[in-house]
Amino acid sequence: MRPADQSSVARSEQAPADLSSSSEQESAVEAQLSAESASLETAPFQKQSLPTEEPAVTEIPELEEDRVEASVAEAPVEESQAGELRLDDELDDEPAPKPKAKSKAKPEKPADDEPFESFGGGSLAGELPIPRTKLLSVIAAIVLGLDLLTKVAAVAFLEQAAPIKLFGGVLYLSFVRNPGAAFGLAEGMTWVLALIALGVVGFILWISRNLRSLGWAIGLGGVLGGALGNLFDRIFRTPGPMRGHVVDFLSLLDPYGRVWPVFNVADMAIVCGGGLIVYMALRQHDYDGTVHKKKVSV
């Protein structure tokens, strides 16, 4: 055959082959498209039916967690121990302080005119003693009550009786009416003595506002009670107001007062209270509780 015929035959054979291949390609494309469309239609149903899987979590073994926590907890402890070691080293380098010798505390001496008294202050040094007005009133009331009771008994049992001997003649009960002062002094001056007694009572009541000394309270209480007892006799007993005679009934060593004048309970209280007041004054103790110390010049 000629070459031209051969090429035409080859072309005729190649044409049906190309057509078949193109048809196959088209069918493949259509099949692919139909598959894609089918997959799109069934995709929601498949998504709902498929189970959801949780993401996997990597777990650290418990041993490793314990090691991490232990390392974190031990870190500050090691630092603190190191700090303590450094502090101990610094303290070791410093010299130890020498112990101080214990000095005995010396008692402080009270200052001059300090409101404190050894007898009757009843308070610590430097503190103001407590008021003694109530104590003065109680002592005065006791003295006055005893004086009035004993005088009533003396008038009732001794006025018309003979002297009574007591303690082997040391003391006698002998009734006497005294127009004078204590122990038979200043006879015939009853009204003057009454005025003096009133002045003494007023003065004691005035200073009692600041009375803080125990000794002064006892002494002034005795004087006040005795003065009131004898003043009662001078005002209310015979022969008349401000002229009354004081009842005495105690005598020492003699029944008629020839060794020592006859006296009563009020007289004893006045003498004892006055003596205590003189003692307190000599000791530089004031009625308000202050103590005046004598300054010795060197």
> Does pTM top 0.85 for this prediction?
no
* C-alpha span between 121 and 213 (Å, rounded): 6
Q: Which residues make beta-bridge pairs with 283?
A: none
Q: Which residues make beta-bridge pairs with 172?
A: 165, 251
Average pLDDT over all residues of the chain: 73
Annotation marks residue 113 as catalytic? no
* C-alpha span between 188 and 236 (Å, rounded): 17
52-76: pLDDT as tens digits:
555 454 554 454 555 545 554 554 4
Q: Active site residue: 92, 93, 113, 248, which one?
A: 248
* C-alpha span between 246 and 236 (Å, rounded): 10
> What integer pLDDT is reported at residue 47 of this predicted model?
45
Domain boundaries, the chain: 159-282
Q: Active site residue: 5, 92, 254, 267, which one?
A: 267
Q: What percentage of the chain reaches a pLDDT higher than 90?
A: 37
Annotation marks residue 267 as catalytic? yes
- Residue 153 to residues 26, 243, 266, Cα–Cα distance (Å): 163, 22, 15
Q: How far is CA 265 from the centre of its chain?
A: 46
